[in-house]
Amino acid sequence: MNERTFFVEEHRNLSTKEINLIEWLLINTKHSELLEQIEKAKVISKCNCGCPTVDLEVANVDNQPINFHLSASGYSPEGIPVGVILHVRKGMLSELEVYSEDGTKVFDLPGVDKLQIL
């Protein structure tokens, strides 16, 4: 099954909460060289299960042949335990994955004050 089956198109700018979360992950994992990509990033799709996971597209950035992810865990505003993974593919911000650790489907993005780097 194609993993994109669970995503629906959505074309928009990043929300303030998404920007804050991505900035926090990049700064706290010593990857501030990627901060400039945030202003060029757009949301191109979102998960259809109700979680706040989004796919990203970054325009006008030179691709680097490097793939990695940055991880954190904590709690959503509703008190749900969550994991956060920022995927970087070919040197570009690619996906902000936010999932519940208890199977809850619908919840909001965690605040950075409720997270810790893994």
Per-residue pLDDT of 49-72, as tens digits, reads 999 999 999 987 777 788 999 999
Total domains in the fold of the chain: 1
Per-residue pLDDT reduced to its tens digit, 4-20: 567 899 999 999 999 99
- Residues of the domain holding 21: 3-117
In angstroms, the Cα distances linking 1 to 9, 20, 24, 42, 98 are 18, 33, 33, 26, 21
The answer to whether the beta carbons of residues 42 and 11 sit under 8 Å apart is yes
Q: Tokens representing 71?
A: 């991880």
Predicted local distance difference test score (pLDDT) of residue 1: 38
Per-residue pLDDT reduced to its tens digit, 21-56: 999 999 999 999 999 999 999 999 999 999 999 999
Predicted local distance difference test score (pLDDT) of residue 4: 55
Q: Tell me what the pLDDT averaged over the chain comes to.
A: 93
Alpha-carbon gap, residue 60 to 56, rounded angstroms: 13
